[in-house]
Structure 1
Amino acid sequence: MTTGTGTGTGTGTDTARGGWRLAPARLRRLGRRAVAMEAAGWRSIGRAVFRRPTVPRGASAHRYDGPIRSVLVVFLVLSAVEIPMVDLLTHRWPAVRFPLLVLGIWGATAMLGMLCGYLTRPHAVGPDGIIVRNGGEVEVVLPWDDVASVARRRRALAGARPTSLTGPDDDRILNLVVQDATDIDIQLERPTAIRLPNGPATVTQVRIAVDDGAAFLDAVRRHIP
């Protein structure tokens, strides 16, 4: 009994210490992710200003933000309107006014960066393969040699994150979801290593959302060997 108690106490202490050791690492990952998101937003704004969407030469662009585009525009307008209102209401209290203005401007800029990410980084289908994206952060290049088949199939994924992995470890699926759904299934020839914002992953299938599934499949037929 004494041995059991001692072992239990030690395990609990070790677990607690392990949790404390993991906390700084988790914070560093979150910090790097926040910086990456901020940088992606500014790059997307720059591309929108100079009208330079990231579509390779000879490839066709395929939008996927249709279901959420109007929502993003509404939120962007509301964020922009909110800034002068906050300035007017808090003009007498600089200690409150300036932090709120900075926060409001940052929020509007972040929303603009998100919208520009969708506008300037569409999916692309070209001679070298398929490039699938999700806003300013996710970009996965799939050469034709890695693509087994492409099929149009709408899947409802209620509550799914915009970028998520599902399935067992030996048959992982990357889901790039817009408005709780995907429209295109891309089956790969073999387990393929990809890089995501949270780290590398190996997948056997990629499911994406597109605004015009028929046009996407037509482009695939033109280019697939």
Structure 2
Amino acid sequence: MQRAWAIAKRAVRMELAVYASIGRFIARRPSIERGGAGFGYHRPVLTVLIIFIVLSAVEIPIFDLIVHRWPAVRIPLLVLGIWGLTWMFGLLCAYLMRPHTVGPEGIRVRSGLETDVLLRWDDIASVARRPRVDEPKSPKIVETGDGADASRMLLLRINNETVIEIELERPTPVLLPGGGANGGRQAVDAVRIWVDDPKSFMDEVRKYL
């Protein structure tokens, strides 16, 4: 019962995030702290998201035309189709309106609708460009070494790639969506992310480090 309740709460949060992202897109107000700079991570997935949105939009009138004689089938399919289209558009808006940010507080790393982790400057040891490509379906949390040399790294990949590595001064707790080994509160020693423009990202980081 507790797990079902947790899943339901997460679903509600995601639904609200969809509409919040659409609202920000309409208002042209990306989620960037005052004095900070935003850096996108959407380029590798932008084309795919647009294709899914277009296909979802095309499917709605086609299915409506097929089942228009049966209102009991037509109405639920119409509602489901509109909801799916809204959700896909909201996901696109989340990628556009919730960028990584570099600002006075630190580096805020994000991913889609849910992940939002603030790494404060006091916790950051170094930031460097280190391109890396992982195997598909690799875990989000990667553990390396043993004993005193053990470390845990959070990887927020786009198309299995990361390009920036943020090393932390000490194991730092971060809150991730979901549960299990890759969700909830996790202590990590480093974070790797994808940034569309790593040069500009590093130029902004150098203002603070």
Give the 5 Å matches for 1:82-161: 82-160=59-137
Greater Cα shift, 69-78 or 165-174: 165-174
Q: 2:163 aligns with which of 173, 183, 206?
A: 183
Distance 1:200 1:147 in 2: 18
CA distance in 1, matches of 2:28, 2:12: 24
Report which of the two structures shows the higher radius of gyration computed on alpha carbons: 1
Instruction: Letter of the 1:182 partner, please give it.
Output: T
Aligned to 2:181: none
Counterpart of 2:14 (choices 8, 19, 37) is 37
Whole-Å separation in 2 of the counterparts to 1:188 and 1:150: 9
Rounded to whole Å, the distance in 1 between the matches of 2:46 and 2:7 is 27
> Secondary structure at the residue paired with 1:158?
coil
Q: TM-score, normalised by structure 1?
A: 0.84
The size of the alignment, in residue pairs, is: 200
Q: In the alignment, which of 140, 152, 160 is matched to residue 164 of structure 1?
A: 140
How far apart, CA to CA, are the structure 2 residues paired with 1:217 and 1:183? 11
Q: Report the residue type matching 1:59 in the other structure.
A: G
Q: What is the correspondence of 1:199-210 to structure 2 with a 5 Å cutoff?
A: 199-210=184-195
**Structure 1 CA distance, aligned partners of 2:5 and 2:205?**
40
The answer as to 2:189 corresponding to 1:213 is: no
How far, CA to CA, are the matches of 1:25 and 1:155 in structure 2? 38
- The alignment-based identity, stated in percent, is 52
TM-fit CA distance, 1:156: 1.0
Counterparts of 1:22-101 in structure 2, within 5 Å, are 24-101=1-78
**Contact 1:187–1:205 (CA under 8 A) maintained in structure 2:** yes
The alpha-carbon deviation at position 157 of structure 1 amounts to 1.7
Task: Tell me if the contact between 1:128 and 1:143 (Cα under 8 Å) persists in the aligned partners.
Answer: yes
Post-superposition offset of 1:57: 1.6
Contact 1:172 1:205 in 2 (8 A): yes
| Bigger share in helix | 1
Unpaired segments of 5 or more residues in structure 1? Answer: 1-23
After TM superposition, give the deviation of residue 165 of structure 1 in Å: 1.3
Q: Secondary structure at the match of 1:54?
A: coil
**Partner AA of 1:213 in structure 2:** P
Q: Distance in 2 between matches of 1:32 and 1:154?
A: 36
Render the CA deviation track for 1:74-97: whole Å, top value 9, x for unaligned. 111111111111111110011211
